[in-house]
Amino acid sequence: MAKDTNLELRNQVIYQVFPRQHSATGDFKGVIADLDRIRNLGVDILYLLPIHPIGEKNKKGTIGCPYSIQDYRKIHPSLGTLNDFKKLIEETQMRDMKLMIDVVFNHTSRDSVILNEHPEWMYKKNGVFSGKVGDWWDVTDLDYSNKDLWKELISTLCYWAKLGVDGYRCDVASMVPVEFWKEARKELKKINPDFIMLAESIDLGFVKHIRDSGFEAASDCELYEAFDMEYDYDLWRKYENYLETQEGLNHWLDALRLQECIYPKNYIKAHCLENHDRKRAAMWIKDGVRLRNLNALIYFLKGTTFIYAGQEACEEKLESLFEIDPTDWSNLGKYNMPDLMKRCYEIKKDPIFRDGAYTIHNTDLEVVHISYETEKEIMECILNIGNVSGGIKSLLKDGKYKNLFDEESISIQNGKLQIGANPIVIKSKK
């Protein structure tokens, strides 16, 4: 992992916004108008899907995919002007949040500025501009064998960083050479020593498919040399299998435990339930107790919490990447999800989530039991994601404790505590 990664990212929350779907106006001004609510939800980093002009050639749908970029240095006109974007940066930072944007450096649109001006920088198959992934037919891949391409892309990264962007989420980062990302990181750190790099590391099956096709795909371990955080796609299939079948919880938890052993000691995963590429958790889970506890869980897993806009409204629909398809905010108060997120955010600020020894314990129930320990303190987090009843073993001594989540009293007797509908978070001295 990057040796200079700030471990305080483990105490932070990222909020992902699809600007054209987020508000009635579908632009930067619509995001600005919502910043107070977003900050009050408990957010440290605002992350925007790509903000650049979309290619017209071979575009998907009516509007086109934001990941098919025509010009890396321009703003999509429907979102506003460059000054509107600068205003969004300013308003975000005024609220003590950082702003991160999407970087899509595996490919460009088929009518991009780079393709037209430097066709020698593009990947070709049998002499024809092409991509390495078959169903991405609206884009052409970049060819990183040309170091002049590296210079241009790193210059672009520095351009946005100098404007005030605080970090990048790097699309399909695994398919871009790690050495490029390392070089880019070095230059960005000269501009902003606290610059944040989040890798969209890819699903393990996708890694194998790309490699079997004769191309390079970096593992999560390799990406940690250049990035501060990575996606949870190394275990995503186990997570979705649990959502779909309500079985296999231990397979998912075993994969989470494995992360502790196979990644660097200072690793950080961005834990999410959903994002613009994956189905909404509320589509799978209709039980309010289960959904609330599942949402709480991603705050208490070791790493950064990653929220997709609309998750707090229990949105079930995944917005289209290719059409105007606004987020449905009509259920914003459902299951008191915003209050739950705000309280979990407040608890997550405890340094024990950054520095404590982290363990996911075995239970006999459909419950996730997590602990963090330091030399002097212990934190227990118990999430009833199965909406079950019963008691589980506690690490604490018998007695009365306060649930930090809801201020209710928790009794531990004979080494056990009774679970309920709400998350349980207890902190005690040893």
Domain limit, last residue, from 349, 384, 406: 349
Token output for 92: 């975000």
Number of compact structural domains in the chain: 2
Instruction: Write out the residue range of the structural domain in which residue 416 sits.
Output: 368-429
Question: Position of tokens 């619509």?
Answer: 30
Q: What is the pLDDT of residues 282-302, one digit of tens each?
A: 999 999 999 999 999 999 999
Q: What is the pLDDT of residues 325-381, one digit of tens each?
A: 999 999 999 999 999 999 999 999 999 999 999 999 999 999 999 999 999 999 999
- Residue 213 has a CB neighbour count (10 Å cut-off) of 11
- 204 and 57 in a common domain: yes
Task: Note whether residue 363 is domain-resident.
Answer: no
pLDDT of residue 1: 53
- 411 and 315 in a common domain: no
- 386 and 338 in a common domain: no
Could you tell me if 20 and 318 are in contact, meaning their C-beta atoms sit under 8 angstroms apart? Answer: no
Task: Give CA–CA dist 382/396, Å, rounded.
Answer: 13
- 394 and 262 in a common domain: no
pTM higher than 0.85:
yes
Strand 377-383 with 368-373, pairing: antiparallel
Q: How far is CA 187 from CA 93, 114, 243, 314, 340, in A?
A: 22, 21, 41, 40, 39
pLDDT at 223 over 70: yes
Q: In sequence order, what are the residues at sequence separation of 6 or more whose Cβ sits closer than 8 angstroms to the Cβ of residue 130? A: 123, 124, 140, 141
pLDDT of residue 135: 79
Share of the chain above pLDDT 90, in %: 96
Average model confidence (pLDDT) for the chain? 97
Q: What is the pLDDT of residues 98-149, one digit of tens each?
A: 999 999 999 999 999 999 999 999 999 989 999 988 778 899 999 999 999 9
Task: Give CA–CA dist 63/74, Å, rounded.
Answer: 17
* Helix-helix angle 337-348:288-300, to 10 degrees: 20
Q: What is the pLDDT of residues 299-316, one digit of tens each?
A: 999 999 999 999 999 999
pLDDT at 185 over 90: yes
- 168 and 75 in a common domain: yes
